[in-house]
Amino acid sequence: MTTTTDARSTAPVTAPPVTGSPVPALHGDIVDLGGSTVVDAIARHAREHPDRAALFPGDQGVQSYGELWDHASRLAAALADAGVREGDQVAIWATRSAPVVAAAVAAMALGAAYLPIDPTYPAARVRRILEVGDPRVMVCADAASLAGSLPRGLGTVDIHAGPHVAPTLEPVTRQDHVAYTVFTTGSTGLPKGVLVGHRALVNYLGWARELTGFEAEDATPCFASLGFDHAVTCLWLPLFVGGAVQLVPDSWDPRPWLAPRERPFAFVKITPSHVRLFERIAKPDYRAVTRTVMFGGERLDGALVAGLGERLDGVALLNHYGPTEATVGCTAYRFDRTGVVGEGALPIGTPVWNSRAYVVDDELGALAFGEEGELVLGGACVADGYLGGGESDRSRFLEESAIAGGDDVGGPGSRAYRTGDRVVVRDGVLHYLGRLDEQVKVRGYRIEITEVHDLALAVPGVVQAAVAVSQSGLGGLELFVVPEDDRPPTVAAVLEHLRANLPAAAVPSKVWVVPELVANAHGKWDPDATRSLVEES
């Protein structure tokens, strides 16, 4: 028998054994999700524990669940007056503040999806997102300041609007509604709006609760852009469970929330780029800050973890993987610092609840464990698709039955998503090998970007490395290396090592020695911003 957990109560229940598939696949636990949503959970907390802290919004004091629900109720009335109905998109100018959280709750309570707009986005990107997303309204605090970014005809709702006395709000939210729409970063083309449904969100939050051990007495910081699905974990998981969120203001200074705490955070979710930033600014002792560190968003190198040393002793460690199209995170791997070697990437683990992971060839033929191929995800983790559908939707989202034997597990109509990530299953867990589009061809040679990266890290004096495909000249690769303070490597030494181990075409055409690898608003490495550090000096 398979022991699983009811997402509504976390009490153990029993379920039938997982039905085997004739093709190799990794299976997440089967869990009964019930029919509730994150909005239902917040409403219940507000009703049963109205004075319990929900949000710590910087210098604005503490907001309780009762206050959060009152604000959401007033905003829901204002949105309804503005014509918002089930199935609509509601754009929100997404500063990390309590009113923004209330606006998202209000939109979802009406059966609409919230569409977060990061305030750091350039005006052209904001306009594109709003034109593609076609929201009913934009919720913001200062509509006049956004006039140059809003498409013609888009109405606005003040984030403090609504009746003075909160009306009764009866959520109409269902699990088949879209909860939110978040736009991808556009690293492999124009940004696309990903539609994530409430059922997928509840599935993810229940799994993440079990993964982190989050309880109603716990809290976690939310410092990531709300326009990035990294923030979904840090915001909605605590509110789903009845805990608290520390909203970090629009600042990259982590020192206030990385200070030692009497009760450590339940978890801190960070990208490897965040870790590097924190090391320069604060060198935090994670033992005094959090019970769990959840890494995600980028490839996690063992050398980065090993470099944190004893500051991770006793801290639970998770490598959390997932594209936006698979609802924030769809696999995770637990590990201990003492078992981490200094080279190579850590595994990405096993699937989220009610989901499956396949490794396939170019024709969607399932490969045996131990063979390298593309990762395809099936089941509850899969998003509803792209906003507007179209060819990009058809090429990435498919029926799980398209994989031979996949319908034996997912059932008729079960969806799957082609990640474009290259993986292999070893020892029962997934290992991330890189993007399929990182297998680039230069002058006839197929080059693995991750191989160049790992060889660069092996050069004495190199503490960080990153590789980008050059968009100028004859193409090829660009390598960025961050030197160790007391023994910086020379460009000649780096090139000598690479030339000794790579075909000539795979040696980067340009090596940049930079003081840091700059992260963008989503906490991921930004090659253009990193390059500018040297070009401007």
For residue 56, the model assigns a pLDDT of 94
Output the pLDDT for position 110.
Answer: 98
Low-confidence winner among 32-46, 224-238, 340-354, 388-402 (lowest mean pLDDT): 388-402
Strands laid side by side in the 462-469 sheet: 462-469, 477-483, 510-513
The pLDDT assigned to 187 comes to 42
How far is it, in rounded angstroms, from Cα 275 to Cα 286?
A: 11
Round to whole Å and give the CA distance between 281 and 255.
8
Pairing between β-strand 26-27 and β-strand 63-64 as defined by DSSP bridges: unpaired
Share of the chain above pLDDT 90, in %: 59
* φ, ψ for residue 170, nearest 5 deg: -110, 100
Instruction: Give the tokens for residue 277.
Output: 């930033």
What's the rounded mean pLDDT across residues 160-183? 95
Of 501 and 145, the structure prediction assigns the larger pLDDT to: 145
The residues with which 222 forms a beta bridge, in sequence order, are 247
Which pLDDT tens digit goes with each residue over 223-242? 988 888 889 999 999 999 99
- 61-85: pLDDT as tens digits: 799 999 999 999 999 999 999 999 9
Q: Residue 510: exposed, middle, or buried by beta-carbon count in 10 A (0-12, 13-18, 19+)?
A: middle
Q: Which of 19-23, 31-35, 115-119, 255-259 has the highest mean pLDDT?
A: 31-35
| Tokens linked to 49 | 């524990």
**Is pLDDT of 168 > 50?**
yes
Residue 531 one-letter amino acid: R
Say which amino acid occupies 182. V
Average pLDDT value for the chain: 87
Domains in the chain, CATH or no CATH each: 2-32+354-435 (2.30.38.10), 35-197 (3.40.50.980), 443-535 (3.30.300.30)
